[in-house]
Amino acid sequence: MGASSGLIQRLLNRWDNLVEIGELIEKGIADDPPPGLKEGGLIKEGFNEELDDLRKISKEGKDWITRLEEIEQQRTGINSLKVRYNKIYGYYIEVTKKNLPLVPEGYLRKQSLVNTERFISPELKEYESKILGAEERIIELEYEIFNMIREEVAREGKRIQQVARIIGELDVLFSLAEAADRYNYVRPIIDEGDSIDIIEGRHPVLEQVDGGERFIPNDTHIDCHENQILIITGPNMAGKSTYLRQVALVVLMAQIGSFVPAKEASIGIVDRIFTRVGAHDNLLRGQSTFMVEMNETANILNNATSRSLIILDEIGRGTSTFDGVSIAWSVVEHIHDSDRLGARTLFATHYHELTELSMILKRVKNYNIAVREWNEEIIFLRKIVKGGADKSYGIQVARLAGLPAEVLKRAKEVLMNLEESELNEIGMPKLGSKKHIHEEMTTAQLSLFTTPPDPLKERIRGIDIDNITPMEALKKLHEIKEMAKG
């Protein structure tokens, strides 16, 4: 076949039509066999001579018995005479009681019922034993033949498995090709660089869900030197988890050799995709929800490399807010700073505090999934945009609920205070303090803010020269000298 793909050619080179196996089954096994193996009817006519003979005997016997009913009706003049079969007595002739006087000689009484009498005749029994003998043997023989065919097929098991594997692989390839064609996928560029660039990427499953809203595509740009960690915020239902999974799926599909649901995609190869999504606990194995979450996170931090893609969906939410934010915060710092790690990471979170990481970590970037308020409702735009999400919709919701205007005004003030005090006096987020701050960032930031107070100057400024004895002055001078040294 004229396939140009090396992969398909290699598959087809190993192709095996399994001709003899096919023929054996075709000739031997009935087209519509019964479910059981010991009911007969398994083996086709013409496959085995002995079987054909036995079937002929059985059929002729049955034909003779079918004719017997008519013959005996005429011979005896009993129109209601019947030839029947049951498992206990085999074949018998049944006559109603009122016709008993017409029963001929040679009928042997077998059984008396309320309205009828059952008879047999030596001739009938002779045919019966022929039929039953043949049928018994037919079932035995069919089972033997079936086993023989089965063994013969089993002997070729390896070949059949190989063909099955080839069919499996072709099926995967054809399905991917079909999906690519039907759903407008694009061929990704795959290279050894570290950027993942996706233009108008889509979630391959969600975009096919009928009845839902139209799927909104989104771009992605992530790399190891500038846009390494994307912190994605946005209200519930905005589409964060969807976006994370979509990026992971596009990368995965690209790397298995598939086209991807996007307008354009360029994928710098990843060595592994690590995910921490969803909350399924493992109570049976003695692990709580949070324990599972932390185990998975530990696994990621211990095994990811700078080539990996990490997808973190709301880690830290399984515990108290403060603990959660702290863990999430230091996980991001670790991924950012550790020499071995530096992995490309998408991190969806409701902790807005984490957006402040971008102020101290060079390669952390904030994104949010846009929403709009319109007529007292939140509208989900499903578009990922730069920057952290609005802090919250709490106050807007409170207004909807009818809180007095002055309460709302005061709440806004308090909110501003809270947000302000998240930064320290040099404009750095307090959450991140005690950690050496990225140097370039610090100098850049410092020039923008007032210089922090110098304790030495403060000390000197604090001396009241008009009210000090020479002894005290000497003592202070000594202290200042010590301070300057320290």
Ligand X SMILES: Nc1ncnc2c1ncn2[C@@H]1O[C@H](COP(=O)(O)OP(=O)(O)OP(=O)(O)O)[C@@H](O)[C@H]1O
Cβ 40 to ligand X, closest distance in Å?
56
Cβ 390 to Mg ion, closest distance in Å?
18
Return the number of the residue (241 or 326) whose C-beta is nearest Mg ion: 241
Tokens of 142: 């069919």
Cβ 241 to ligand X, closest distance in Å?
3
- By a kind-dependent CB cut-off of 5 to 8 A, residue 215 interacts, out of Mg ion, ligand X, none, with ligand X
- By a kind-dependent CB cut-off of 5 to 8 A, residue 212 interacts, out of Mg ion, ligand X, none, with ligand X
Tokens of 63: 């034909």
Cβ 252 to ligand X, closest distance in Å?
18
- By a kind-dependent CB cut-off of 5 to 8 A, residue 239 interacts, out of Mg ion, ligand X, none, with ligand X
DSSP string, 241-307: HHHHHHHHHHHHHHHTT--BSSSEEEEE--S-EEEE-S---BGGGTB-HHHHHHHHHHHHHHH--TT
Determine which residue in the list 241, 275, 289, 306 makes contact with Mg ion, applying CB under 5 A: 241
- By a kind-dependent CB cut-off of 5 to 8 A, residue 352 interacts, out of ligand X, Mg ion, none, with none
| 397, 361 contact by CB (below 8 A) | no
Which residue has the CB atom at the shortest distance from Mg ion?
A: 241
Cβ 378 to Mg ion, closest distance in Å?
16
Sheet holding 377-386, edge to edge: 273-276, 309-313, 344-348, 229-233, 364-374, 377-386
Query: Measuring CA to CA, which residue among 377, 307, 367, 373 is closest to residue 343?
Result: 307
364: helix, strand or coil: strand
Please return the burial class of 335, using the count of CB atoms within 10 Å of its CB with bins 0-12, 13-18 and 19+: buried
Residues of span 232-261 touching ligand X by CB under 6 A: 234, 236-242
Which residue has the CB atom at the shortest distance from ligand X?
A: 239
Write down the residue that tokens 């001078």 correspond to: 477
> At residue 272, what is the residue type?
R
Write down the residue that tokens 């089965």 correspond to: 150
Total residues found in the chain within this entry: 486
Residues of span 177-206 touching ligand X by CB under 6 A: 206
Residues of span 371-390 touching ligand X by CB under 6 A: 382
Sheet holding 264-268, edge to edge: 189-191, 264-268, 196-201, 218-222
- By a kind-dependent CB cut-off of 5 to 8 A, residue 57 interacts, out of ligand X, Mg ion, none, with none
Tokens of 411: 């709440």
Residues of span 391-450 touching ligand X by CB under 6 A: none
Residues of span 207-226 touching ligand X by CB under 6 A: 212-213, 215-216
- Rounded to the nearest angstrom, the gap between the alpha carbon of residue 207 and the centroid of all alpha carbons in its chain is 16
Cβ 301 to ligand X, closest distance in Å?
23
Return the number of the residue (203 or 240) whose C-beta is nearest Mg ion: 240
Cβ 405 to ligand X, closest distance in Å?
31
Q: Is 442 in the site for Mg ion (CB under 5 A)?
A: no
Alpha carbons 61 and 119: distance in angstroms, whole number: 19
Cβ 369 to Mg ion, closest distance in Å?
10
- By a kind-dependent CB cut-off of 5 to 8 A, residue 238 interacts, out of Mg ion, ligand X, none, with ligand X
Residues 16-42, buried b or exposed e (16+ Cβ, 10 A)?
A: eebeebeebeeebbeeebeeeeeebeb
Return the number of the residue (118 or 202) whose C-beta is nearest Mg ion: 202
Return the number of the residue (304 or 312) whose C-beta is nearest Mg ion: 312
- By a kind-dependent CB cut-off of 5 to 8 A, residue 205 interacts, out of ligand X, Mg ion, none, with none
Where along the sequence are the contacts to Mg ion (CB under 5 A)? 240-241
Where along the sequence are the contacts to ligand X (CB under 6 A)? 206, 212-213, 215-216, 234, 236-242, 382
